[in-house]
Structure 1
Amino acid sequence: MALRPFEWKDKPALIEHLFPVQKISAESFREQMAGAGKTLTALGSYWKGRKPLILNKACILGALLPVTDDLLTDLKIFELLMGMDTESMQARLEAKLPASRRDQVGELLVLPFNEQVKKAKRAEEMDDSLFVHIWRRVNKHFGTSANSFPELIEEMGIARFGHRPKMADVFCGSGQIPFEAARLGCDVYASDLNPIACMLTWGAFNIVGANQEKSKKIKAVQNELTKQIQKQIEALGIEKDGKGWRAKAFLYCVEVICPETGWKVPLIPNLIISKPRSGIKNNVVAKLVPVSDKKKYDIQILEWVDTEELYLYQNGTVQNGELVHSPDGITSYRTKISSIRGDYKEGKKNKNRLRKWGKSDFIPHPDDIFQERLYCVQWIRTRATGRGDEYQFRSVSKGDLVREKEVIDFVSSHLSEWQEKGVIPDMIIEAGAKTDEPIRTRGWTHWHHLFNPRQLLIAGLVNMHSGEIGKFCLSSILNWNARLSIWGNLDGGGGSVKNVFLNQALNTSYNYGTRTVKTIGSLIRFRVVESLIQCKIAKVSAHPAQEIEVENDIYITDPPYGDAVKYEEISEFFIAWLRKNPPKEFSHWTWDSRRSLAIKGEDEGFRRGMVAAYRKTAEMMPDNGIQVLMFTHQSGAIWADMANIIWAAGLQVTAAWYVVTETDSALRQGANVKGTVILILRKRRKNLDTFRDDLGWEIEEAVKEQVESLVGLDKSVRATGAEGLYTDADLQMAGYAAALKVLTAYSVIDGKDMVTEAEAPRVPGKKTFVDDLIEFAVQTAVQFLVPTGFEKNEWQNLQPVERFYLKMAEVEFQGGKTLDNYQNFAKAFKVAHFDQVMSDASRANSARLKLSSEFRSALMSGDAEIAGTPLRALLFGLHEITKDTDIEDVLLHLMDFCPNYLANKSLVAKMADYLAEKRQGLKQTKTFRPDKEAEAARILAEAIRNQRL
């Protein structure tokens, strides 16, 4: 029997009651680690911060599926739909393993889930056959009759909303969320202020999601474009040496006059050009040869340099921001490049003596401070035997310089015409946090200045012949072929042209590589992992989030937040090339970044923009609509801002989950792991009022109910022999959600209108009424999470740092050793200097507390938060036991150091028992021996209990 329209109209969504965050985290992390292998990356690797498709799928299904009285079965069905059940995992493992190893699948299936995920294919890489076995069980549980995701989605949408569900993302970015919704079968509306984001989302629908027939046409377009560009470059004769060799890459560097010597010096940070790798078997270096009579350096390219000699070339002429050279090989001259540039301050502004380039410039003027020089060419030809290619790196010849001039002359003769037609940009670089860099360090004022003549020529030709598919080829070429494309690997070796957006900045470089037709072919003929979308409607619009005028049932958004990438600035790198001649499919979008309209930063403008956006989405959804809001949890202030925004927008939190989504490679700049907070929101439909004094009991009851429900589900899952669902960190987040659910249900608290309070401007350093309420709610939630073995009053009487240390010992025991867990709990427990009790070896994904042996006698007194506490006295006692101190002396010292020892004696024994349990079984290393700590804790606990006073 089919579901009736609106049968589930008022049923809570599954995601409001359960979400297997540990498994979803494992799947999300695995997808992020795939890098270039991710489904949508080929369309534009320059757009970072994509939320994993597997997470998007979980949110979409979780928002549509109903919760029943049988949570355990709900969970099992959800895992079936996610491809996380045992049968699906077996298929995923078999698909990844070579045939010779498939007999090992049984052994792999008993590994922890995150280990299985690492060795299996990702669920979104599998075809529909992965889910054939699930439909009978799904239909039986929910009363549906589906045999595919689109059928299930449509039936669930009718049951909830009376029609196929309409899902929207008004901050669509690269299209990850709407693409997954479209692939599942929702009607989709995607919008973004940024036209590059809209283009990427369009590409997700129409290129990655294309059917087989359309995919063939796309490949034909790519092949034809490649042929056209190759033909025109061949006709110019600028990439051949006349001896059968074709250029593969050109290497350029900046040159300056040394103010101390008057010598013209090439700026090359590392003189190693290439190290052995696939296809290239030799070491290649650039040797600077002084030419005294001309006060300049020739650059000789040497191949087959002994590996032992490479150290001589590791340090080039740029070292720690200084020009360094030695014309005679004896005297070394060092000058700050900032001095050569003539940096100075005018008020608060940084300025220098660089000439600002004009619209018609594309190479330096002869009297510019920074000149540019071609110093090496990489050549390639097919071997005479026909077996593969051979490569050469050569010094620049007279013929190379002649061909270089031909390129300059060609671009010069066409520049004005091409700029007028939009083939090459004429757009000014507006000052900004990221765009100031090329202006300040090079004097570049227009976007085409970021490309040299050869790069302008190739990109211009591609732009000239491009339709909508070609624009994706163009954006890829721009990212991989600009004056910001450094040469080589980050360690100076390797030998290849890197992409501009290695990070989300516009960092200028002293030397860079330029690609040729030989190597841009792969950028034009980019390949995507075809993944057919199955929706009936998928629309992309360019407008601010708060201007949406279409009603949708579900909104899933990943909005900008305080530390977001400044896409409104850096995307102008691409917009400049597309704005005058977008293809007809993109022509109705505004081809401008509209920086002033972008929601950004952490100030009042950010909050106002977010409130306006979410207030409008709340208006543009039915009363039983649901929103899923994702944001990266880094700053406590951002969390508080989000709560204010939700309140002011007329929404209410109904659940919150925390999923690990970021890879270690995203954390190079520091040990601050990033995860994603998932907030589930509904309309606040009643105008309720209450008083703060009454909130405490209500929050505590809500937190208790939420946590006990999840703990009960976790125990049920463990009872089946499966891994647990939740750690203490997950329960903490659920407690936050329960507290916020209570708070945001009220329109008036203590006689104050909460929308007005939430919208009130912040005063730096001053807490608002809302801040106080959120802090109160969080503290109430945290205090409920009392570890097993402690009474509630005992736990609450401990110092915050003691509760933090003991709670994190339990989290470590559960395996939750990511640094963000410690940061989150430290904020919750109000521990200001949690680093004082953390091991110096802590890293982003392997943080830990200090053992007693690492404290030794430190922090026994003074201003440290743990100083003078019973826990600190206990830890010192454990340290003494590990050093074989007589137990009677240990007890005497414990009595001396522990405040009010007689009253705290039983509590100290409890803490010792607790640490003995939590330290046992942790993974050990040569420097980390928790087993010794556990044994010492057992000895001391027993000694305390037997002590006669």
Structure 2
Amino acid sequence: MISFIEKQFPVSKVSKESYKERKANNGQTLTGLGKWWGRKPLVLVRAAILGCLMPASGNPKKDMDIFLKVMSMDNRGLELRKDKSFTVAEMYEIAVKSKKLRAHIDAWFDITDDKIKLNNRVKKKDIELIIFNTMGYDEKLVKCIRPEQLKNLDEQAWNEINHHLGTSAKNLQDLVEQLSIKRFGRNVVVGDCFCGGGSIPFEAARMGCDTYASDLNPVAGLLTWAAINICGASKEELEEIKKFQKDVFDRVDKEITKLGIEHNEHGDRAVSYLYCVEAHCPECGKKVPLSPSWIIGKGTKTIAKLIDNREGYDIIVKMGANSAEMKEAEKTGTIKNSELVCPTCGKTTPISSLRRDRRDESGNTVYGLRRWEKTESDFREDDIFSERLYAIKYERQDGQRYYRHPNERDLKNEKKVNQIVAENIIAWQEQGLVPSMEIESGMKTDELIRNRGWSHWNHLFNPRQLLTISRFVEFSKECAISRKQKTVAILGINKLVNWNSRLCRWISDGANEKGAETYYNQALNTLFNGLSRGMLSLNTCWFYNINDYEINNNADIKLIDARVVNGTCHFWITDPPYADAVNYHELSEFFLAWDKKLLQETFPEWYTDSKRILAVKGDEHFSQSMIEIYTNLAEHMYDDGMQVVMFTHSDPSVWAQLALIMWKSGLKVTAAWNIATETESGGLKDGNYVKGTVLLVLRKQTGDATAYLDEINVDIKSEVRAQIQSMQDLEDMEEPNFSDPDYVLAAYAASLKVLTAYKKIGELDLDYELDLAIKDPDNSQVVQIIENAKKIAYDCIIPAGFDSILWKDLLPAERFYIKGLEAEKHNNYQISTYQEYARGFSIGSYKQLMANEKANTARLKTPTEFSMRTVGEIADFEKSLLRIVLAAIHIGIKEDGMPEKGLSYVKNQVPDYWGSRDMIKQLLQFLKGTKDIDNMPHWTESADMADHLHILVDNDHI
């Protein structure tokens, strides 16, 4: 039986839904449980599982309608999901901009004294629905809840679904069960051997599937167990869990209050403590507080000022600073480009020199900092670095907040905290209340050792943090009774340590000045200034929203190496590590150091280390590890089962590697789809952070056929064209589902579908090809096959209405611009689209063609934005016919709207004007097509001029 996902997939809509879910941030269903890297959107998982389970019929258009209906992505589903109303002003603005609605403005609205009201004769609800249904999918989503938040479809939808699928379902769980029995004779089993943050097993269980979930990492196992058992807990259990959380928090709060270490002399309580690292300037000997900036809060205009006191610096905190003082505080940071900048002598010192790093006789770097002892929690007096409290954010009893520099009372509180920790840390470590685990050397963890000399995980927490978090651990152990309460405690502690460590940045931007989490990116970054949270700001870490869902608890969750998983599944849906894998094993040890004792008590059958030795790493063993894993999965999959492998690369060489891995594992490709989700850069990343997830659909190899490359090249060409044609036949012109990168991806998949259908390709040595794909992709025949498939695809995806013969005469940069503008006409502003075009048309640089390169708002320059500037970075574009036409449009606009001036420019610049006239007309025809497109108001003026120029050229005769 062929599955829906093997024939088609609503790429555009699933991409938009995935993006909406990702942008929900902490509002996402599972993120509240704890930190994990790279959780896949639940809507993507739901679509993949449904796509595997739902059969493809002989009516593909109806199949798509029904699939969208089940996913609540059809028009009626969006109506049911709509939960936000329009203001009258919004409705009026939409009606004015819409060609379809302008005629109704007078009947719907009354405008008196610039006030817009609805006409008394119409009902707001009715007009709202009419307006909603004329909007594009993106605009509708703004007003809608996510598919997972819709409790159920309406009766009419289920009648249509059941009629087409031969079921009698009343909800999604019914449908999954009935489709499973029709296909497999029992409920479908969905497996994931890289369960990570639990997205795949959770969504499978929520859909009603039986689940098998495993991971090598205990933190991943914990998050997955919690996703199914905590989010699937009964209302009574959730009440008990919330009571347990409150009891623990109240006990910690009571003890901290009793110690008096967070209150000042006025009875005000600290919200946050700001610390900076200090070091002596090697040039003048002055002790310098280190910070890239001395702005504490831009919203409150709070700064820190350094006051020279001969031996070092006093730090004075000032609120309500003027603009000059704010600029000065920004400018006078003492860390610039990884160098200490001494405010006394003005000399700069590289931080590596300050640390006294050196090279030994063999050329290896020897770190200069002293290694801390296991029970230490602070720097020693003779250390190169020290740590200093320089500002405190307090809250008055009336709720008002303010900053001040520490006074004698505050420093006394700090001393008291340090003393308590020093007296108790040995006992706490023995009891498992604070970490005692050593930091193992690794790609990410070496930074901690090199930059601070920290040797154990407890060193990442200052005394105040150790004291507070240890109280949560101790009272959790005392209060937790059930496994679910103990699990909630571990998750809470993990959230506390993620949001309250020496690696937490202070965010000074905006009105809400606050601390960031440790893992704001996939690294362990040491800081020169950070914070410690008081109890007032720890409540949002300890308490977290737990969503309760009806879940199929028939779930088998294991800690086990993926090479030896022993559960047999109908569908394996996996998001494996990649060749440039996140170092989960290293990053998760930050949590495991705190979790060990509690994990042993809660899950005695689990181990509590990260199993570094077994982790799949992006090294020379990556491919072999993946082959072993997927060979095992193929052996533990029913013969009529399927696999969906998610990965994030579009590089043909990586595609070739993955295809060869799957091929060698006994699997064959049947389809591939690209789900694009983009967010703007965050953390340390520069530019745009673009993320797209490829769904590679696979089945078991069942034949032993052998073929030769010269025989199958014709088959590949035919398969690529057939695949693209079938997608084009299904395309919705008003709401396009596929963009050009989707067609290219389909071409990749089509070529692999032909290749992997054979057990052996006569002249191909798969081991040798895999090695080439990794080390020398230019000489890999499989990489070349995939590249050729891309060329076939681009021959098939000529812009609508563009003459195919003229298209072939265009330069690569001209094709890039025209295809980009076509994407914009279809409301596609994803930077990934332009990146794919650049690869497809072999454009090295395209920056000069872009008006905006931000994710989801990327677009090309208009003729007026190009003006007459030289475009020199892109080969041959400056002298191209398209560039001349764009310049002619600009000249026509600039010269008081006189297209004759533009035509004169074209005739002067084009040597063979009459021989090029057909191409000039074609380009102008395409460019004027941007006219009256709702999402392209920036092209209105240029489109009008292109229209006028087209008339002149068309009527021009010798």
TM range (shorter): 0.7 to 0.9
User: Which residue of structure 1 lines up, in the alignment, with residue 11 of structure 2?
Assistant: 21
User: Aligned to 1:650, which of 639, 662, 666?
Assistant: 666
TM-score normalised by the chain length of structure 2: 0.87
**2: CA distance between counterparts of 1:102 and 1:527?**
32
Any unmatched runs of 5+ in structure 2?
A: 89-122, 478-485
CA 1:142–1:926 in structure 2 vs 1: closer, same or farther (change >3 Å)? Answer: closer
User: Which residue of structure 2 lines up, in the alignment, with residue 506 of structure 1?
Assistant: 524
TM-superposed deviation, 1:713: 2.0
TM-superposed deviation, 1:168: 0.8
Partner secondary structure for residue 638 of structure 1 = helix
Residue-by-residue CA offset, 1:407-441 (whole Å, 9 max, x unaligned): 22221222222223332212222222222222221
**2: CA distance between counterparts of 1:608 and 1:25?**
32
**1: CA distance between counterparts of 2:317 and 2:873?**
62
Within-5 A mapping of 1:161-560: 161-241=184-264, 243-276=266-299, 283-292=301-310, 295-306=311-322, 309-320=325-336, 321-326=338-343, 332=346, 334-346=348-360, 349-383=364-398, 389-464=399-474, 465-466=476-477, 467-489=486-508, 491=509, 494-528=512-546, 530-560=547-577
User: Which residue of structure 2 lines up, in the alignment, with residue 84 of structure 1?
Assistant: 73
TM-superposed deviation, 1:873: 6.7
8 Å Cα contact 2:502/2:530 also seen in 1: yes
**2: CA distance between counterparts of 1:804 and 1:573?**
46
**2: CA distance between counterparts of 1:727 and 1:375?**
53
CA 1:325–1:802 in structure 2 vs 1: closer, same or farther (change >3 Å)? Answer: closer
CA 1:699–1:879 in structure 2 vs 1: closer, same or farther (change >3 Å)? Answer: farther
Within-5 A mapping of 1:752-763: 752=764, 754=766, 757-758=769-770, 762-763=774-775
Partner secondary structure for residue 895 of structure 1 = coil
Q: Tell me whether 1:697 sits opposite 2:709 in the alignment.
A: no
TM-superposed deviation, 1:791: 6.2
Q: Tell me whether 1:843 sits opposite 2:833 in the alignment.
A: no
CA 1:348–1:797 in structure 2 vs 1: closer, same or farther (change >3 Å)? Answer: farther
**2: CA distance between counterparts of 1:48 and 1:886?**
54
Amino acid aligned to 1:32: R
Amino acid aligned to 1:638: V
User: Which residue of structure 1 lines up, in the alignment, with residue 119 of structure 2?
Assistant: none
Partner secondary structure for residue 373 of structure 1 = strand
Residue-by-residue CA offset, 1:802-833 (whole Å, 9 max, x unaligned): 5444433433332333221122233234x142
TM-superposed deviation, 1:219: 0.8
- Equivalent residues, number: 906
TM-superposed deviation, 1:21: 1.5
Within-5 A mapping of 1:40-59: 40-44=30-34, 46-59=35-48
User: Which residue of structure 1 lines up, in the alignment, with residue 483 of structure 2?
Assistant: none
Q: Tell me whether 1:125 sits opposite 2:149 in the alignment.
A: yes
**1: CA distance between counterparts of 2:905 and 2:514?**
66
User: Which residue of structure 2 lines up, in the alignment, with residue 674 of structure 1?
Assistant: 691
Partner secondary structure for residue 426 of structure 1 = coil
TM-superposed deviation, 1:288: 2.8
TM-superposed deviation, 1:63: 0.9
Q: Tell me whether 1:622 sits opposite 2:646 in the alignment.
A: no
User: Which residue of structure 1 lines up, in the alignment, with residue 131 of structure 2?
Assistant: 107
Identity in percent? 37
**2: CA distance between counterparts of 1:170 and 1:117?**
33
**2: CA distance between counterparts of 1:98 and 1:588?**
56
CA 1:942–1:681 in structure 2 vs 1: closer, same or farther (change >3 Å)? Answer: same
CA 1:493–1:570 in structure 2 vs 1: closer, same or farther (change >3 Å)? Answer: farther
Within-5 A mapping of 1:814-833: 814-829=826-841, 831-833=842-844
**2: CA distance between counterparts of 1:589 and 1:865?**
62
TM-superposed deviation, 1:750: 4.3
**2: CA distance between counterparts of 1:87 and 1:687?**
47
CA 1:875–1:312 in structure 2 vs 1: closer, same or farther (change >3 Å)? Answer: closer
Within-5 A mapping of 1:555-634: 555-601=572-618, 603-633=619-649
Partner secondary structure for residue 179 of structure 2 = helix
User: Which residue of structure 2 lines up, in the alignment, with residue 748 of structure 1?
Assistant: 760
Within-5 A mapping of 1:867-878: none
Partner secondary structure for residue 911 of structure 2 = helix
Partner secondary structure for residue 198 of structure 1 = helix
TM-superposed deviation, 1:681: 1.3
8 Å Cα contact 2:890/2:942 also seen in 1: no
TM-superposed deviation, 1:751: 3.6
CA 1:651–1:871 in structure 2 vs 1: closer, same or farther (change >3 Å)? Answer: farther
Partner secondary structure for residue 569 of structure 2 = coil
TM-superposed deviation, 1:136: 1.9
**1: CA distance between counterparts of 2:85 and 2:135?**
16
Amino acid aligned to 1:468: T
TM-superposed deviation, 1:309: 4.0
8 Å Cα contact 2:743/2:793 also seen in 1: no
TM-superposed deviation, 1:742: 1.9
**2: CA distance between counterparts of 1:558 and 1:758?**
21
**1: CA distance between counterparts of 2:494 and 2:533?**
14
RMSD: 3.2
Within-5 A mapping of 1:849-860: 849=860
**1: CA distance between counterparts of 2:273 and 2:861?**
53
Partner secondary structure for residue 271 of structure 2 = strand
**2: CA distance between counterparts of 1:487 and 1:450?**
16
8 Å Cα contact 2:773/2:783 also seen in 1: no
**2: CA distance between counterparts of 1:837 and 1:322?**
34
Partner secondary structure for residue 704 of structure 1 = helix
TM-superposed deviation, 1:35: 0.9
**1: CA distance between counterparts of 2:286 and 2:798?**
72
**2: CA distance between counterparts of 1:797 and 1:692?**
31
User: Aligned to 1:864, which of 875, 879, 883?
Assistant: 875
TM-superposed deviation, 1:114: 0.9
Amino acid aligned to 2:674: Y
8 Å Cα contact 1:913/1:941 also seen in 2: no
The range that moved more, 158-167 or 104-113, is 104-113
8 Å Cα contact 1:647/1:758 also seen in 2: no
Amino acid aligned to 2:161: V
